[in-house]
Chain A
Amino acid sequence: MHRLRLIPAVLAVLAGVRLGAPSGLAAQFETIETRDMRLVFTSPLQSYLVPQVARSFENSLQFHRRLFDYTPDGPINVLMHDLWHYGNAGASPIPENHITIGIEPYSHDYESAPAPERMTSSLNHEMAHIVTVDKATGSDRFYRSLFFGKVTPNPEVPPSMLYGYLTTPRWYAPRWYLEGIAVYLETWMNGGLGRAIGPYDEMVFRTLVLDSARIFDFVGLESEGTTIDFQVGVNSYLYGTRFVSYLGLRYGDDSLIAWYNRTEGSRRYFSSQFRHVYGRSLEDEWGRWIAWERDWQAANLAAIRRHPVTVFRALTDRTLGSVSRAYYDSASHAIYLGIRYPGQVAHLASIDVASGKITNLAEILGPSGFSVTALSYDPASRTLFFTTDNADWRNLCALDLATGRTRLLIRSGRIGDLAFDPADRSLWGVRHDNGFSTLVRIPPPYHEWHQIETLPYGRDLFDLDISPDGSTLIGSMSEISGSQKLVRMNVAALEAKDATPEVLSDFGDWPPSNFVFSPDGKYLFGSSYYSGVSNIYRYDLTRQLMEPLSNTETGFFKPVPVSADSLVVFRYTARGFVPSMIPNVVPDSVSAIRFLGNEIAATRPEVQSWTPPQDSSLDLDSLPSAARTYRSFAHLSLTSAYPVVEGYQDLAGTNAVAFGARANVSDQVGATALTLTASYSPDRAIASSERVHLRADFQSWNWRVTAALNRADFYDLFGPTRVSRRGYSLAVQYKGNLLMDDPRSVTYTLRLAGYGHLATLPQYQNVASPVDRLVSFSGDLAYGSLRRSLGAVEDELGTEARAVVYGNYVGGTLFPLLHLDLSHGFLLPLDHSSLWLRASGGSALSGNRTNAFAQFFFGGFGNNWVDYREIRQFRDIESFPGVGIDSLAGPNYGRAQAEWVLPPLRFRRVGIPSFYLRWVDLAFFTTGLMTNVDQQAARRTLASAGAQLDCRLVTLSHLESTLSIGFAVAHAAGAPLHSAGMFSFKIM
């Protein structure tokens, strides 16, 4: 699976790693430059992969160069890292062409993304993104030269949205469009191993037809399908691949490539280009595809029904979304597993086999998409072993079912595919590190792992299980070619470092999955897409015979033998997996289904020639030794520059419009960046000394330096909130990280700033500054553990805590202040509905209490008419809806707030492809505030209640805007009610 827009997240984590590590770590980044690629890798330990990355990159580029007649403007940046548990990659054309690759083995869950060697496969896919979104026409090149590069949309400068579209128009397309062609090309470039001939994809659409479920139209897919469905973002791949494959089959590949190729005369917008190429609207053709898909899948269902379909009995009334491996406890007649479905956070659960009752046992922090968690079970101690932080560096945890207590056993052990050895109570697993899969053993008390065998690069072992007598370990083993086998190893030999596998069954094209031992150890049960449909198979270890146990219409997975005559399996449905009981009986026959990809290979044979050439011009052996330490300062370059317009308000309240320009400078991985903005207010009502506005923002890893002169801001052109300030300032900030264990983090921020020629206080727009110069400092310690369920529009539960000390040094006097902030949220039984409780308090620690520098100020919703900050600013400490901005003040305060967030209402189809509504969400809140807490005479107590409605809009597929309206009523003892409304449009 490939993530297209994850580069900022990667950089954030890298920055975090940098923050939490000794100073030498950043120096471990190394770089190599070839003719067409600038590779940066985050550790010299990854250097062994450099030749493979370089080779795959060049081969892929050569292929795309020929297919699309594409030549990049310069070397393409590639960042290789080891931050994820499974292999993944992403690409972005802005501000420069950039590919990010995680080096670990791919996930094999449900065979949802079949692929051969991962560097080749990832680069085949990502290069398709680069080519299809970066290739430019004369007009694109004109705008690129006008703006000195490709413009990244920046919320601080909304016109950059327009500039971005002019320089990189094809980037502004829905994700299904981008992923569809990348998967299609990748499949043929991989020799047919890919999702265009994927059994999972066939299953998804076959099931939609079988269940008479909705096949989304292409607006509904983006507005609803990629968020509420348990497959969430994967739907972009599923639908995109399917639609593109359909086009390839029906109209041929020349027109398909023409739709994606940005040639002279082509249309900027993807849907306009569709009409240009195919002569009909995208909407029309999408409807044709759905009709065709229903026919295709009806034929496959008919093929399956040529033989009796396996009867099953669902154990639960509800679908479970994604599920982990499951275990049956014969003592309690319950199944233990991890589940994840929209509306509630992922958790370990028990399912009573008789009643189907589902009990939530414990939350799983950091679940993974398809498999939720790696799970194993010790029935003797009634302990569930499971993993958290599953997408990144996995932690190993244990849940004691007797006490309900969860323990962290190994932090960042990076171990998955757990199996429990009942003979000696050890855990076994597969560790992913630096691109290698290592079979490890974890003896009690499970705090250390020991290497058993490290597999050579390209080989992976997964889906482990251990026989009841502890003598044998089985698993699925994959090779560089993508082939997978069911293998068996002797545990005693493994402990003696002999890891020679015995191949039990070679399923050929269709790999074995999740094979487990029967309780008597005589059989193995697992699944395979051998017939094209995932059915259950039974391997008789005595007779060495593989037999089918099902003929299902959708797909059966992860069998759990519960008795001699029946198994629990997980049946795929359009809404997720449902635990079901099937008989342990061999059916008469099982028919094969047809694959759309095969039909394309036969009907459109040109795809069979779509294999990358083998580039031999690189001296691969010498590449690793050519690596140099990556110095971000040495790689800084101008990425774009464009005109800006800003607003400025002087002390007299005169509003002026300023015109100027902004320049963006960055290194190739985005670790260091500099932005410079300069504008001028021609309005003569503004004093000449205030007409020039300058702003600089420099960031390098955890350091940030900002400077301003008569700061102006685009958003000061609108509404009541002002950030423009007279005078000059210089600030230095350092942000460090004490804990990074997603979703939990502990960060600290230190900041020192100096101001001169002040008119108003830097933090409070409506408070005049009593001094001309000011030095301020702050120290901030913050803890966060916020989570959300699948399909959420924002964080739905968790805790945040923050302690801030800050002070102003004015005329030889120091005014220190302290405030503490705590918030906690709960998910309510109603899906996607949560309750938040917030409390904060603060006090001036010394100084004259009446001085403005020793005061806290409150008031207002906080949102500007046009804004780019958080949409629900009533949550901020300084906010108090119902009264004016900064209208309440005191040297100390206490504040409490309760907020109820209702489930969002999602729009299935409101809008057109280039502009549609995604959701609307309503929150009710009530706030209490007390100032001058320690002085009864001056004390003020106020209460406020209100509501805010937010509506999310999407423009040009990428640009998410939010329209917010709010209303609140404030009340103070002995004073009349105050009310205030709020309207805000968050552009990006």
Chain B
Amino acid sequence: MLTRDQVALIQQEIDGANTPEGSAAVRSLMERDPEARALAAELRRVAGLFEQVADREPPARLKRAVLDALAQPARASPGAVLRWAAQALRFVITPMEDAIMTKRAVLIGSAAAAVVIVVAGLVTGFPPLGRDAGTIGGVEAAARYHGKVMTEADVSVKNPEIQALFQNDQILHLVQSDAFHQVMQNQAFRELMANDAFRQVMASDAFRQLLASDAFRQVQASDAFHELQASDAFHQMQANAAFHQLLAQDAFRQMQSADAMHQLQANQAFRELQANDAFRQVMASDAFRQVMANDAYRQIMANDAFRQVMASDAFRQVMASAAFRQVMATDAYRQIMATDAFRELQAAEAFRALSQSQALSQAFMREAMRVQM
């Protein structure tokens, strides 16, 4: 801890009042003592505040205190008392100002005192400046000493938004549900999570951008998409081998171009899929059509990030993996996708943050699993 002499030396240095020897001593002190450096920095900051003092209006209570002090000599003069009393009938403030005008010497002295008090207040925080007496009519505010007040900058928390997700009742129900538990315990899901390709997809910038995009979130949050995901047909289609083969095809990934579409039509997997009842039901469903007609969906389709994801080998491998298909085929997964809670999770701001960070995503999943215990 710095001694009082050392503190005084630093203060004099800030004020430019040190002798050369004193300045040398301060420099030496600051080189070896971080507390001295911190104090000097703080004092310089305060010195900067001093410059603002000239423009600062002293608090009303201070003004009143000074004026109260001035009124006492005035009371010695019966004339002054009468003048004060007469004016007091008209205003409260005016007579005080008159008194000040007639007592220039006292004014100068008291103004200097006021500046000293204001400056002292800025330095020490006491008496308080932030609250003027009389802000609540007729009530004198009690003084309270203020030292260094904590701010948000003084608080270090790490990813509180993930923990905050668990304050949502829907999400809490979700992660505590049997369905979620089944998915977490599902061997295929675990394999999928451990799958390099899957992890590459999840870690890719494009995928994270996609998940974080407004369009994607709108689609995910839409009733039509929700209905589609909940439908048996969609569920069957997702579990369909041909569908997965199709998703893994270059042609499908390039289906935005006409040539690719032609190639797709010639594709065996696509033809099998077209013959599939579930696929046809999905295609014919209102929900699917609404999704397709959705602006947000179209934006996604045109989204560079989406295209990059779709074009990546890793994505292709994921789509082709047995684990992914098994996960898609589980009832529990489907139940989760159909829940309001999952939609709420997707709609949460924190989920966007989760989407943008693989580390956060993993942290969430880890803790979701632990919440289940």
Q: Which residues of A are at the interface with B, using a C-beta cutoff of 8 A?
A: 21-22, 24-25, 27-28, 43-52, 55, 66-67, 116-117, 120, 188, 190-193, 197, 199, 431, 433-436, 438, 440, 448-451, 454, 456-458, 480-482, 508-510, 529-533, 535, 537, 545-548, 586-595, 597-598, 601-602, 605, 608, 611, 613-614, 620-621, 623-624
Contact B160 A590 (CB under 8 A): no
Residue of B at shortest CB range from A454?
B167
CA distance A608 to B157 in the complex (A): 27
Can you show 8 pairs from A to B with CB atoms below 8 A apart?
A44-B370, A508-B141, A509-B141, A547-B137, A590-B139, A594-B142, A598-B144, A608-B125
Q: Which 4 A-B pairs have the closest CB atoms?
A: A532-B142, A191-B147, A508-B131, A601-B145
Q: Which B residues are CB-close (under 8 A) to A67?
A: 1
Partner of A451, one of B38, B131, B135, B168: B168
Q: Which B residues are CB-close (under 8 A) to A450?
A: 169
B interface majority secondary structure: loop
Say whether B156 faces chain A, with CB atoms less than 8 Å apart.
Answer: yes
Partner of A598, one of B126, B149, B163, B373: B126
Partner of A52, one of B143, B157, B370: B157
Say whether B130 faces chain A, with CB atoms less than 8 Å apart.
Answer: yes
Say whether B278 faces chain A, with CB atoms less than 8 Å apart.
Answer: no
Residue of A at shortest CB range from B162?
A48
Contact B159 A48 (CB under 8 A): yes
Contact B139 A589 (CB under 8 A): yes
Partner of A481, one of B145, B150, B156: B150
Contacts A188-B147, A191-B149, A598-B126; A436 near B164 (Cβ below 8 A): yes
Partner of A611, one of B133, B147, B167: B147
Contact B164 A454 (CB under 8 A): yes
Q: Which A residues are CB-close (under 8 A) to B38?
A: 613-614
Q: Which B residues are CB-close (under 8 A) to A431?
A: 167
Contact A530 B142 (CB under 8 A): yes
Contact A605 B167 (CB under 8 A): no
Contacts A47-B158, A48-B163; A608 near B150 (Cβ below 8 A): no
Contact B144 A191 (CB under 8 A): no
Contact A481 B151 (CB under 8 A): yes
Contacts A44-B366, A613-B35; A529 near B149 (Cβ below 8 A): no
Number of B positions contacting A (CB below 8 A): 49
Q: Which B residues are CB-close (under 8 A) to A532?
A: 142
Contact A436 B167 (CB under 8 A): yes
B36 to chain A, nearest CB (A): 11
Q: Which B residues are CB-close (under 8 A) to A530?
A: 136, 139, 141-142
Contacts A451-B168, A531-B140, A590-B138; A509 near B147 (Cβ below 8 A): no
Contact B140 A509 (CB under 8 A): no
Contact B167 A191 (CB under 8 A): no
CA distance A594 to B154 in the complex (A): 30
Say whether B124 faces chain A, with CB atoms less than 8 Å apart.
Answer: yes
Contact A601 B156 (CB under 8 A): no
CA distance A597 to B145 in the complex (A): 8
Q: Which B residues are CB-close (under 8 A) to A451?
A: 167-170
Residue of B at shortest CB range from A479?
B152
Say whether B148 faces chain A, with CB atoms less than 8 Å apart.
Answer: yes
Partner of B143, one of A51, A529, A592, A613: A592
CA distance A116 to B153 in the complex (A): 13
Q: Which B residues are CB-close (under 8 A) to A454?
A: 164, 167-168
Q: Which A residues are CB-close (under 8 A) to B164?
A: 436, 454, 456
Say whether B105 faces chain A, with CB atoms less than 8 Å apart.
Answer: no
CA distance A547 to B159 in the complex (A): 43
B352 to chain A, nearest CB (A): 15
Residue of A at shortest CB range from B123?
A608
Q: Which A residues are CB-close (under 8 A) to B131?
A: 508-509
Contact A116 B147 (CB under 8 A): no
A782 to chain B, nearest CB (A): 27
Contacts A67-B1, A481-B149; A192 near B156 (Cβ below 8 A): no
Partner of A592, one of B142, B146, B160: B142
Contacts A45-B166, A480-B152, A509-B131; A197 near B367 (Cβ below 8 A): no
Residues in B155-196 with C-beta less than 8 Å from chain A = 155-160, 162-164, 166-170
Contact A28 B167 (CB under 8 A): no
Contacts A28-B373, A597-B145, A613-B35; A480 near B140 (Cβ below 8 A): no
CA distance A132 to B146 in the complex (A): 26
Say whether B58 faces chain A, with CB atoms less than 8 Å apart.
Answer: no
Contacts A192-B145, A595-B143; A49 near B167 (Cβ below 8 A): no
Q: Which A residues are CB-close (under 8 A) to B366?
A: 44
Contact A49 B157 (CB under 8 A): yes
Contacts A117-B150, A548-B136; A45 near B370 (Cβ below 8 A): yes
Q: Which B residues are CB-close (under 8 A) to A620?
A: 156, 158
A614 to chain B, nearest CB (A): 8
CA distance A488 to B159 in the complex (A): 29
Q: Which A residues are CB-close (under 8 A) to B367?
A: 44-45
CA distance A64 to B373 in the complex (A): 40
Contact A51 B138 (CB under 8 A): no
Say whether B108 faces chain A, with CB atoms less than 8 Å apart.
Answer: no
Contact A28 B138 (CB under 8 A): no
Contact B146 A51 (CB under 8 A): no
CA distance A786 to B25 in the complex (A): 68
Contact B144 A509 (CB under 8 A): yes
CA distance A47 to B138 in the complex (A): 49
Q: Which A residues are CB-close (under 8 A) to B139?
A: 530-531, 535, 548, 589-590
Contact B156 A592 (CB under 8 A): no
CA distance A197 to B145 in the complex (A): 8
Residue of A at shortest CB range from B153?
A480
Contact A593 B159 (CB under 8 A): no
Q: Which A residues are CB-close (under 8 A) to B124?
A: 601, 605, 608
Q: Which B residues are CB-close (under 8 A) to A623?
A: 158
Q: Which A residues are CB-close (under 8 A) to B169?
A: 440, 448-451
CA distance A586 to B136 in the complex (A): 11
Say whether B86 faces chain A, with CB atoms less than 8 Å apart.
Answer: no
A345 to chain B, nearest CB (A): 33
CA distance A199 to B159 in the complex (A): 36
Contact B158 A458 (CB under 8 A): no
B20 to chain A, nearest CB (A): 28
CA distance A605 to B147 in the complex (A): 11
B61 to chain A, nearest CB (A): 9
Residue of B at shortest CB range from A598?
B145
Q: Which B residues are CB-close (under 8 A) to A24?
A: 370, 373
Residue of B at shortest CB range from A618?
B156
Contacts A192-B144, A434-B163, A590-B138; A117 near B154 (Cβ below 8 A): yes
CA distance A508 to B156 in the complex (A): 25
Contact B371 A458 (CB under 8 A): no
Cβ contacts B293-317/A at 8 Å (1 or 0 each): 0000000000000000000000000
CA distance A899 to B169 in the complex (A): 49
Q: Which A residues are CB-close (under 8 A) to B142?
A: 199, 509-510, 529-533, 592-595
CA distance A545 to B135 in the complex (A): 10
CA distance A192 to B149 in the complex (A): 8
CA distance A620 to B159 in the complex (A): 12
**New contact pairs (8) apart from A508-B135, A589-B138, A605-B124, CB-CB < 8 Å:** A24-B370, A25-B373, A46-B163, A48-B159, A199-B142, A509-B141, A530-B139, A592-B133
CA distance A598 to B145 in the complex (A): 6
CA distance A431 to B239 in the complex (A): 41
A538 to chain B, nearest CB (A): 10
A972 to chain B, nearest CB (A): 58
A559 to chain B, nearest CB (A): 16
Q: Which B residues are CB-close (under 8 A) to A546?
A: 136
Partner of B157, one of A51, A120, A448, A614: A51
Say whether B22 faces chain A, with CB atoms less than 8 Å apart.
Answer: no
A49 to chain B, nearest CB (A): 6
CA distance A187 to B137 in the complex (A): 30
Contact A117 B155 (CB under 8 A): yes
Cβ contacts B97-136/A at 8 Å (1 or 0 each): 0000000000000000000000000001111101101011
Q: Which A residues are CB-close (under 8 A) to B140?
A: 531, 589-592
A362 to chain B, nearest CB (A): 28
